Amino acid sequence: MQREMTFRGHRTLAVDLPGRGTGFTRAYQVQDLETFAAQPSPIANVTGPDWVDHVVDAVRRVREHGPVILVGHSLGGLTVTGVANQIPDLLDRIVYIAAHCPVTMAGADYLSEPEWASSKLFPATAKITMTNPAERGYIRLNWRTADPEVFDALREALGAGSDPDAFVATLNGFEPDEVWWQTNPTFDYRVDKNTWGRVPHSFIRLTEDQSMPPAAQERYIKEADALTPENPFDVHFAPGGLGTFLKHPAEVADILSSFSQR
């Protein structure tokens, strides 16, 4: 995505959030599952403010060189919301790519709502979950599972019908550990009418997403629009699923590029 944006003349920065980008352990690589499950995680004690403050600092630094458009995907939407609530005047636009955007309730509470009932993500990842998240404080997933049925379930949930060989490359980009944000109140970021509501905001709906169903994406948009009717979401559509839209980034890059031209 950064390459595509650079081809269009834009400066971009991908921000590694605290606890992310730590790579893989030998136990994960060789599939020593007992050792892998027992290893501590660098993401265990990460909080929502850790992520938000980290991105706020990045925005302040790059803002010195020009306008800032902040983009978040999936769980990254919580961070985008938190940053926009905190420093709305430093952001020229915020963009959600099939990303969580809680409005009327905590983000985790949306997952039990009817719009999420058709999500294929949680049944698929339940089969590769290595620890009890409630006890360990983080989610550990074995993306390198050797079970062909589980692989197919993950491909259906994340791959949007992608070729099996191509989907392997997608899985190789996923890190095993994720924050257990569902029960962590520090990740309860909801849009604030008086701060977030002042920032122009766009939502790129992924039409083939089997993880965050289209109905869930639409609910976020409708609730936000009801809160800030004078500044509604600018909505766009792009092909691909949660884990595969980056494999053909030109469509989303074209949309993102159009924002700077405004």
Lowest mean pLDDT among 185-194, 211-220, 252-261: 252-261
CA–CA dist 143, 121 (Å, integer): 13
| Bridge partners of residue 95, in order along the sequence | 71, 202
Predicted local confidence at residue 150, as pLDDT: 95
CATH value of 2-260 in 3.40.640.10, 3.40.50.1820, 2.60.120.260, 3.60.20.30 = 3.40.50.1820
Mean pLDDT along residues 33-58? 96
Tell me the pLDDT tens digit for each residue of 177-194: 999 999 999 999 999 999
Residue among 78, 165, 154, 88 at smallest CA distance from 121: 154
pLDDT band at 262 (very low <50, low <70, confident <90, very high): low
Rg (CA), the chain: 18
Checking if the pLDDT of 241 tops 90, the result is no
All residues at 6 or more sequence positions from 250 whose CB lies less than 8 Å from its CB, including other chains: 4
- Residue 99: strand, helix, or coil: strand
All residues at 6 or more sequence positions from 42 whose CB lies less than 8 Å from its CB, including other chains: 19, 22, 177
Predicted local confidence at residue 240, as pLDDT: 86
Residue with tokens 């980290």: 54
The mean pLDDT value of the chain amounts to: 94
What is the residue extent of each domain of the chain? 2-260
Residue among 216, 198, 197, 196 at smallest CA distance from 206: 216
DSSP run (H or E) holding 159: none
187-193-199 Cα angle (round to 5)? 90
Tell me the whole-structure pTM to 2 decimals: 0.95
DSSP 129: B
